[in-house]
């Protein structure tokens, strides 16, 4: 699968700004022609579709320019991090079809980062501040107003060195002191106003245990890790653009040669009707609003996978939207379109009746059955055919019958003809109802000269409906998933996200009638339920109760709703 993903033939497109930068560097012979990138997730949650965009450029650039891409876990905050996430991140990257060269951890460099911090203290470029986080924040100033120097700013080097060691000995409380770089409290770039570079965290680390009590901040770790590893192009999202001068400053203090990693920023992926931050996603899991990180409504890669989305669809979408220098929100319909487009090409068509009512073909001999041939995929001749059983009693969708139908109703209504897919043309003759007026059976007569494939079968009728034989079907559960949020931009709404949830994001149907061909399907197998949508087998399936997830409906019902 992974090879398919990476070898898809793509129409030639123009280079994005990152590819242009890499090509310029190669032309100028920078870094001895080396291209090295990294994907640097923090293992504090499962990856979401936004991360896929970062993965595609990090690994994609390395592939395109025959370079190296490493996986580096940015594990500088033990409180939120866990090996469960490390494992899932690796699986997701492989699912997207990529392979890292090496796996590194920021925690691999804690020793080197410590030594560098000590060097800065010795050079008078860092000091221990004993003020609280609030006091420090108050002194930061504003972009137009200089900050105020900390009273500890000029404390003797020896004292800072001694306290820095104490920070790591476990004898001090969290928040009692921090190490700050001594740069410029009047800098127009707020990140230069003596940024905090080390803090005390008394929580065991998933890899280093209790070895460290003082942990480097993101800004003090990221660029230096890039430097230690030999990264040439460090790609991240736009919010880090303002951090770049500090990234460069630290490396300038550290570097003993001319080599410099360089940071490039691209736009974050954001979708309508979707929230992508791990903080929000974790809340959905912790408050049990959803069933877990892989709930099929989650925008996580595990959720997408369970829902039936494919890596190919994700690649196609990301190629289409590209990488730019300005943020924007992408219509979630584009992702759904990419999923439909991909599944249309490769999944088999089957019949499943979600809301069944019985159809009796009154002139079809009792006890007789016929094997009908069903084409697996009209888009792909090589997918072949399979057999479906036809009999006197069938299940059809309740919606496909109406006793008093409006003029343009081309399905079953007394006097009207429809084609039963892959079988005969039938004419509706009436129905039976219970005391409450609910239709319990629909009646029709078939024309035995109209079997699909017969010469007469070219007779045209306006409607075709799907069906399954009562003799050759089984009951299953179907989970109809829809968008999780009702509003287009949940991130900017202002209301609590709980209030924005779509109450119909999951509808569970029981007793759906599946053609028996589906009986052997395994978790993850994908199909098109004719006229309904794309579905896949859920991992909750058991021998007695198969469960199907709706991946995406055949048509975009939201676009229609919006036009009204
Ligand atoms: P979140 O805010 O969702 O928790 P994060 O940025 O904190 O995400 P990290 O694990 O730190 O998550 O991110 C790893 C990489 O993925 C970073 O380079 C980050 O810039 C990138 N990334 C995160 N979210 C997106 C997104 N929505 N679009 C593109 N890239 C993203
Ligand atoms: Mg983060």
Of all atoms in ligand 1, which is nearest to the CA of residue 47? 10
Report the atom number in ligand 1 closest to the C-alpha of 42: 10
What is the residue with the minimal CA distance to atom 10 of ligand 1? 41
CA–centroid distance for 58 within its chain: 17
Question: pTM of the entire structure?
Answer: 0.93
pLDDT band at 560 (very low <50, low <70, confident <90, very high): low
DSSP 35-90: -EEEE---SSS--BHHHHHHHHHHHHHHHHTT-EEEEEE----TTT--HHHHHHHH
Q: Quick one: pLDDT at residue 537?
A: 98
User: Of the residues 50, 72, 263, which should be mutated to test ligand 1's pocket, given the most ligand atoms within 8 Å of the CB?
Assistant: 50
Task: Grade residue 352 by pLDDT with cuts at 50, 70 and 90.
Answer: very high
Structural element, H or E, at residue 362: none
Q: H or E element: which one contains 377?
A: none
229 CA from centroid of ligand 2 (Å): 20
- Distance separating alpha carbons of residues 413 and 244, to the nearest angstrom: 68
The whole-number pLDDT of residue 316 equals 97
Which of 225-234, 417-426, 554-563 has the lowest average pLDDT?
Answer: 554-563
Residues 6+ apart with CB under 8 A from 42: 73, 74, 75, 76, 77, 80, 81
Q: Which ligand is nearest to the CA of 50?
A: 1
Q: What is the pLDDT of residues 136-150, one digit of tens each?
A: 999 999 999 999 999
In this structure, what token pair is assigned to residue 55?
Answer: 């993965």
Nearest CA to ligand 1 atom 2: 277
Ligand located closest to 240 CA:
1
Give the residue, out of 217, 237, 325, with the most ligand 1 atoms within 8 A of its beta carbon, to mutate for a pocket test: 237
Taking only the tens place, the pLDDT of each residue in 65-86 is: 999 999 999 999 999 988 999 9
Q: State residue 461's pLDDT score.
A: 92
The 10s digit of each residue's pLDDT in 438-456 is 999 999 999 999 998 877 6
Q: In what side-by-side order are the strands of the sheet with 506-515?
A: 348-350, 526-529, 533-537, 546-553, 473-481, 506-515, 352-353
Among candidate residues 77, 72, 31, the one with its CA nearest the CA of residue 55: 72
Q: Which CATH fold would you assign to the domain 30-266?
A: Rossmann fold (3.40.50)
- How far apart, in Å, are the Cα atoms of 75 and each of 36, 72, 139, 463? 21, 9, 29, 59
**pLDDT at 350 exceeding the cut of 90:** yes
For residue 459, the model assigns a pLDDT of 77
Euclidean distance between CA atoms 179 and 116, whole angstroms = 12
Query: Which residue owns the Cα nearest ligand 1 atom 3?
Result: 277
- Torsion from C-alpha of 156, 162, 168, 169, nearest 10 degrees: -150
Fold of the CATH domain 352-466? Ribosomal Protein L25; Chain P (2.40.240)
Atom of ligand 1 nearest to the CA of 281: 3
- Confidence grade of residue 470 (pLDDT, cut at 50, 70, 90): very high
Residue 378, pLDDT score: 94
pLDDT tens digits, residue range 237-266? 999 999 999 999 999 999 999 999 999 999
| E strand spans, 448-545 | 463-465, 468-469, 473-481, 506-515, 526-529, 533-537
Token pair of 119 as six digits: 């060097």
Angle at alpha carbon of residue 371, lines to 366 and 372, rounded to 5°: 115
pLDDT at 555: 87
Say how many Å lie between the CA of residue 302 and the centre of ligand 1.
Answer: 16
Q: 533-537 and 546-553 as β-strands: parallel, antiparallel, unpaired?
A: antiparallel
Of the candidates 10, 66, 9, the residue with the CA atom closest to the CA atom of residue 37:
66
Probe ligand 1: pick from 54, 82, 106, 279, max atoms within 8 Å of CB? 54
Query: Pocket around ligand 1: residues whose beta carbon is below 6 Å from it?
Result: 40-42, 50-51, 53-54, 74, 236-237, 268-269, 276-278
Q: Is the dihedral of CA 330, 336, 338, 341 positive or negative?
A: negative
Which of residues 57 and 3 earns the better pLDDT score?
A: 57
Ligand 1 center to residue 311 CA distance, Å? 19
Q: What are the sequence ranges of the domains in the chain? A: 30-266, 278-348+476-563, 352-466
Atom 23, ligand 1: residue with shortest CA distance = 51
CATH topology for 278-348+476-563 is: Ribosomal Protein L25; Chain P (2.40.240)
Q: What is the 51 CA–ligand 1 centroid distance (Å)? A: 5
Distance (Å) from CA 223 to ligand 2 centroid: 15
Ligand 2 midpoint to CA 398 (Å): 49
**Alpha carbon of 445 to those of 233, 423, 424, 450, 564: distances in Å?**
70, 13, 10, 12, 39
**Closest ligand by atom to 58 CA:** 1
* 41 Cα nearest atom in ligand 1: 10
The residues pairing with 390 across neighbouring beta strands, listed in sequence order, are 370
Measured CA distances, 81 to 39, 205, 312 (Å): 17, 8, 30
319 C-alpha to center of ligand 2: Å? Answer: 24
Among protein residues, the one whose CA lies closest to atom 18 of ligand 1: 236
Residue 546 confidence (pLDDT) = 98
Give me the pLDDT at residue 454, please: 77
| 41 Cα to the center of ligand 2, angstroms | 7
Asked if 30-266 and 278-348+476-563 have one fold, the answer is no
Report CA(269)–ligand 1 centroid distance (Å). Answer: 9
- CA 192 / ligand 2 centre spacing (Å): 20
Residue among 41, 49, 51, 236 to mutate when testing ligand 1 (max atoms within 8 A of CB): 51
Pairing verdict, β 417-420 and 425-433: antiparallel
What three-state secondary structure class fits 532? coil
pLDDT of residue 1: 36
Distance CA 143, CA 165 (A): 33
What percent of the chain has a predicted confidence (pLDDT) above 70? Answer: 96
């Amino acid at each position: 699968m992974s090879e398919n993903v990476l070898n898809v033939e793509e129409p030639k497109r123009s280079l994005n700004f990152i590819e242009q930068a890499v090509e310029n560097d190669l032309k100028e012979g920078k870094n001895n022609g080396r291209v090295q990138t990294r994907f640097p997730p923090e293992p504090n949650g499962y990856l979401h579709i936004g991360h896929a965009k970062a993965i595609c450029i990090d690994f994609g650039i390395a592939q395109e320019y025959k370079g190296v891409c490493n996986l580096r876990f940015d594990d500088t905050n033990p409180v939120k991090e866990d090996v469960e996430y490390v494992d899932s991140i690796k699986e997701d990257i492989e699912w997207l079809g990529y392979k890292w060269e090496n796996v590194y951890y920021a925690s691999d460099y804690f020793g080197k980062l410590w030594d560098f911090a000590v060097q800065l203290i010795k050079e008078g470029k860092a000091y221990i501040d004993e003020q609280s986080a609030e006091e420090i924040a108050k002194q930061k100033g504003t972009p137009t107003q200089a900050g105020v120097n900390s009273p500890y700013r000029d404390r003797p080097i020896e004292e800072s060195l001694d306290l820095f060691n104490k920070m790591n000995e476990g004898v001090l409380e969290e928040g009692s002191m921090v190490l700050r770089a001594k740069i410029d409290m009047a800098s127009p770039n707020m990140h230069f106003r003596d940024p905090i570079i080390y803090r005390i965290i008394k929580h065991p680390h998933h890899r280093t245990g209790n070895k460290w009590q003082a942990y480097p901040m993101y800004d003090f770790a990221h660029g230096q890790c890039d430097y230690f590893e030999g990264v040439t192009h460090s790609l991240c999202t736009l919010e880090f653009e303002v951090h770049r001068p500090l990234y460069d400053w630290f490396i300038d203090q550290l570097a003993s040669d001319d080599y410099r990693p360089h940071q490039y920023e691209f736009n974050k992926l954001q979708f309508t009707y979707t929230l992508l931050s791990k903080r929000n996603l974790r809340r959905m899991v912790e408050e049990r609003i959803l069933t877990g990180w892989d709930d099929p409504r989650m925008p996580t890669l595990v959720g997408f996978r369970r829902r039936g989305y494919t890596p190919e669809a994700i690649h196609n979408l990301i190629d289409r939207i590209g990488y730019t220098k300005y943020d924007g929100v992408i219509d979630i319909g584009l992702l759904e379109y990419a999923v439909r487009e991909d599944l249309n090409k490769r999944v088999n068509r089957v019949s499943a009746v979600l809301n069944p009512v019985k159809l009796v073909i009154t002139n079809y001999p009792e006890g007789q059955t016929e094997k009908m041939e069903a084409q697996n995929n009209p888009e792909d001749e090589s997918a072949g055919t399979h057999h479906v059983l036809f009999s006197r009693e069938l299940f059809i969708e309740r919606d496909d019958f109406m006793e008093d139908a409006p003029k343009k109703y081309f399905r079953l209504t007394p006097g009207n003809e429809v084609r039963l897919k892959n079988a005969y043309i039938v004419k509706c003759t009436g129905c039976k109802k219970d005391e409450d007026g609910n239709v319990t059976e629909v009646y029709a007569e078939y024309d035995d000269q109209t079997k699909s494939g017969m010469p007469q079968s070219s007779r045209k009728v306006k409607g075709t409906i799907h069906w399954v034989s009562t003799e050759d079907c089984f009951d299953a559960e179907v989970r109809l998933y829809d968008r999780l949020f009702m509003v287009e931009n949940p991130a900017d709404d202002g209301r609590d996200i709980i209030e924005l949830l779509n109450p119909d994001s999951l509808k569970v149907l029981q007793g759906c009638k599946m053609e028996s061909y589906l009986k052997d399907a395994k978790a993850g197998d994908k199909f098109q339920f004719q006229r309904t949508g794309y579905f896949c087998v859920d991992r909750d399936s058991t021998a007695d109760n198969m469960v199907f997830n709706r991946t995406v409906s055949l048509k975009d019902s939201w676009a229609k709703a919006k036009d009204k």
